[in-house]
Amino acid sequence: MNNLFRILSGIIVLLIVAQMFSSCAKEEPIDRDPGLKLEFSGDTVFFDTVFSTVGTATQIFKVFNPSKDRIIISSVELARGEASPFRFNIDGISSTTITDLEIAGNDSVFVFVRVTIDPNQANAPLVQNDSIVFVTNNNRQDIKLIAWGQDAYFYRNGIIRSNYVFTPDKPHVIYGFLAVDSLYSLTIEAGTKVCMHSGSILLIYRDATLKVNGTAENPVIFDGDRLEDYYRDIPGQWGRIWLYAGSIDNEINHAIIRNGEVGIQADTTGNSLNPTLRISNSMIYNMSGTGILGQGTRIEAANCVFGNCGSQSVTLSLGGDYDFRHCTIGNFWNRSFRKTPALLLNNYYFDTANHVQVRDLTKAYFGNCVIYGEKDEEISLDKYDSDGIFNFRFDHCLLKTELNTSSELNFTNCIKNEDPWFREPYSSSFQPDSLISAVVDKGSPEIISGAFINLNNDLEGNSRISDAAPDPGAYEFKEAVATRRRR
């Protein structure tokens, strides 16, 4: 018994001594530097799975403490809170928010992120977005979360190296960029919807080709990937369709291109006898920048609307060869102050050494067109003064301009500054809506016959040849369907 007592007494003494040493040990300091930055294994978490039924997927990333001292992350939370389809788990805690998370010096923690998606919700966003926000020493950082929100075809920073077809059975969502490589083509069938994420680009490379084969009943639609009603008419939601320098034989028929930064950018001519782009029966509107941007290239356009852009509706720069027939180039942009005209023609640029480089504008022809907007001057002729070819002609057009239009060589039977009586110009509805519209019967039948498509009918299928003369612009006035103009 005495031996047992001595053993127990010894254990008690050891415990007391250990406790004394523990209480005297120096606790690891906390790094409270406001300039401290957490480090992460990546800045974005992607969930690439395309679900066919309601399901979940999990991804992992790491959070690193770069300091030799421990840190306290005061809060970790989902930006969308409880409304988010995402949840995260750190150290066994699953939540939408965690407070006072400690990480030892030069240590790290794993973050498990889960998303639950019902891809059959037709009104859900095509892409679900959120972020996990970390606040450390009042310093805010976040990790972006991206998951596909519907059943669709998804392309993220991809290159097409075959002749490829977009079919209309599901939306096609482009995240980042999608490039068509040289010698290949991308064909987009009637009724297809192409949904572009913020900043995304569809790039048609040198010697590659884009064919958009929409119909009047089933146009091809290029739009942003946010389907909520709030985003229905918000410009700047995606980047551009880029017909890269040397792309060839691009054709777009019956397309609606809206709500991006630049609708179509076409750069220089390629190795083909055909124009770089032929676009017909199409609408490009509500772009934060330019509707169609041609740079030293060849474009033919017929039965098209280019309207309501933050910069020009049509920019034809660095020279080139252009033929526009029965097009409406309108600009009633009202989301910010617009300094630029609806149409710009240009034949030069400044190189990296700030030297002028002149590029011939061999032809800029506008036949039976309307160039109109709310500014006093909607046409800019930006010609280099001392050099270069600058050939342009407006033929049987309605123009909003302060230019001198007396030259028959450049302005043939044009109407100046008379009201076209558009139906809803601020909503890109540019149909003439009154018999007193300045365009009624003011076009030329000969211009119709010179187009690369049949222009006997307007953009809505109405006949141009059943009355005295065609109306300039993409639309023929129809009294039976006219309504009172609202502005």
| SS3 category, 342 | coil
Statement to judge: residues 407 and 278 lie in one domain: yes
What is the model's pLDDT at position 152?
85
- The pairing of strands 39-40 and 55-64 is antiparallel
What is the model's pLDDT at position 3?
56
Please report whether residue 7 resides in a domain: no
Would you say 227 and 198 are in contact if contact means Cβ atoms under 8 Å apart?
A: no
Confidence check: pLDDT of 484 > 60: no
What is the model's pLDDT at position 50?
52
CA distance 132 to 34: 20
Statement to judge: residues 437 and 289 lie in one domain: yes
List beta partners, residue 242.
203, 265
Confidence check: pLDDT of 8 > 60: no
- The beta strand positions in 137-258, using DSSP E, are 139-148, 153-160, 164-166, 172-180, 185-189, 193-196, 201-204, 209-213, 220-224, 240-243, 250-253, 255-258
Please report whether residue 11 resides in a domain: no
Hey, what are 241's tokens?
Answer: 């369709």
What is the model's pLDDT at position 37?
94
Which of 5-14, 153-162, 165-174, 478-487 is predicted with the least confidence, judged by mean pLDDT?
Answer: 5-14
Q: Which pLDDT tens digit goes with each residue over 32-83?
A: 999 999 999 999 998 866 555 566 678 999 999 999 999 999 999 999 999 8
Statement to judge: residues 350 and 455 lie in one domain: yes
Statement to judge: residues 340 and 418 lie in one domain: yes
Statement to judge: residues 432 and 381 lie in one domain: yes
Range of the domain at 51: 39-148
- Which of 123, 148, 173 represents a domain boundary (last residue)? 148
pLDDT band of 389, cuts 50, 70, 90: very high
Percent of the chain exceeding pLDDT 70 equals: 90
Confidence check: pLDDT of 486 > 60: no
CATH of the domain at 143: 2.60.40.10
- Which of 104, 127, 148 represents a domain boundary (last residue)? 148
Please report whether residue 1 resides in a domain: no
Statement to judge: residues 248 and 118 lie in one domain: no
Q: Which pLDDT tens digit goes with each residue over 221-271?
A: 999 988 778 889 999 999 999 999 999 999 999 999 999 999 999 999 888
| SS3 category, 20 | helix
Confidence check: pLDDT of 122 > 60: yes
What is the model's pLDDT at position 254?
98
Statement to judge: residues 157 and 144 lie in one domain: no
What is the model's pLDDT at position 14?
53
What is the model's pLDDT at position 391?
97
CA distance 127 to 482: 40
Statement to judge: residues 455 and 310 lie in one domain: yes
What is the model's pLDDT at position 24?
46
- Number of structural domains the chain divides into: 2
What is the model's pLDDT at position 118?
74
Please report whether residue 64 resides in a domain: yes
Q: Which pLDDT tens digit goes with each residue over 421-471?
A: 999 999 999 999 999 999 999 999 999 988 999 999 999 999 999 999 999
Please report whether residue 25 resides in a domain: no
Please report whether residue 486 resides in a domain: no
Please report whether residue 258 resides in a domain: yes
DSSP per-residue string spanning 91-145: TTEEESEEEEEEE-TT-EEEEEEEEEE-TT-TTS-SEEEEEEEEEETTEEEEEEE
Q: Which pLDDT tens digit goes with each residue over 275-295?
A: 999 999 999 999 999 999 999
Please report whether residue 208 resides in a domain: yes
Statement to judge: residues 376 and 285 lie in one domain: yes
pTM of the model: 0.81
Phi-psi region of 344 (alpha: psi -120 to 50; beta: other; left: phi over 0): beta
Statement to judge: residues 203 and 290 lie in one domain: yes
What is the model's pLDDT at position 230?
85
What is the model's pLDDT at position 92?
81
Statement to judge: residues 109 and 211 lie in one domain: no
Statement to judge: residues 265 and 402 lie in one domain: yes
What is the model's pLDDT at position 487?
40
CA distance 318 to 337: 26
- Which of 148, 179, 199 represents a domain boundary (last residue)? 148
More reliable by pLDDT, 366 or 156: 366
